[in-house]
Amino acid sequence: MVPLLVSANRTALRLDIWKDAPPGETLRMATGANPYGTVKDTRREGVFTPDITFFPATAPGSPLVLIFPGGGYNILAEDHEGFGVARRLQSLGCAAAVVRYRVPRRDPQRPWVVPLLDAQEAVRIVRERASEWRANPDKIVALGFSAGGNLVARLAYQPNASAESRPNYAAMIYPAYLLDADQGDKGLLSGPDGLTPVPGSRPAPAFFVHSANDPIPAHGSVALAAAVRLAGSTAETHIYATGGHGWGVNGNCPASREWPELLTAWLRGQGVLVGK
């Protein structure tokens, strides 16, 4: 594990997700390329060795928020949808961990397949080792943005996944690719690649934030929230009038500035986060 300086009194720790060669790989890395990818304009490209960067909690027994940046499954917007988010949540009392899953797309038609392998293993790792970062293994929250939100939906609600790889709670910020062709008048994806929770399964409670003017329809968040409730769980949804897409914690719109506090209030309401 490699220490990574975050501030004068807090340290993040980085860990590779796979001990050996990552499974399901179909691309060949260029000779001399960095297997962890390269950063251009705060966006990471060409990830072949996925990893997790942990931000320990300030108090024992805290929830651990596993963060999946977006980027269309082609890049990772790891600053305003990753490390900036982790530091913000850490300041609000959570342990946090940023997952750099493999990009670009290995499968143009089903781009989530390889990232989902990385994401499921990441959940297993953090559940097994949560206490090392002052976190509770029964309070694993998966938080994703755009394509990362799609990944969280698949982690939490895709049928036939193992229980150990599912988060206890799912938070999705402007999640993408939830609808057929991502059109607002279409239903949730169904079939073997579908995202509809099984009725009566009591899936992970869900939290959504979306902008009404997002080109990725907010209807996807609303529809999945309804499906989660029909399956016997709870879902909280916040739809902002403006903001567009991809704001993370960049501070450029009210949604970007306010959603971390909304999320922590939701976690307190779930009994996951205690304290002020």
Q: For residue 187, name the pLDDT band (cuts at 50, 70, 90).
A: confident
Report pLDDT digits (tens) over 8-55: 335 578 999 999 999 999 999 999 999 999 999 889 999 999 999 999
Max Cα separation, the chain? 51
For 49-96, the DSSP string reads S-EEEEE--SSTTEEEEEEE--STTTSB-TIIIIIHHHHHHHHTT-EE
Q: Looking at the domain that runs over 2-20+33-269, which CATH code has it been given?
A: 3.40.50.1820
Q: For residue 257, name the pLDDT band (cuts at 50, 70, 90).
A: very high
Q: For residue 123, name the pLDDT band (cuts at 50, 70, 90).
A: very high
Closest-CA residue to 142 (of 132, 133, 155, 161): 155
Kindly list the domain boundaries of the chain, sorted by start residue: 2-20+33-269
Phi, psi (5° rounding) for residue 188?
Answer: -60, 150
Mean pLDDT value across the chain? 92
Angle at 244 between CA 190 and CA 119, to 5 degrees: 45
Q: Does pTM top 0.75 for this prediction?
A: yes
Interatomic CA distance for residues 149 and 146, integer angstroms: 5
Structure tokens at 40: 């251009």
pLDDT at 183 over 70: no
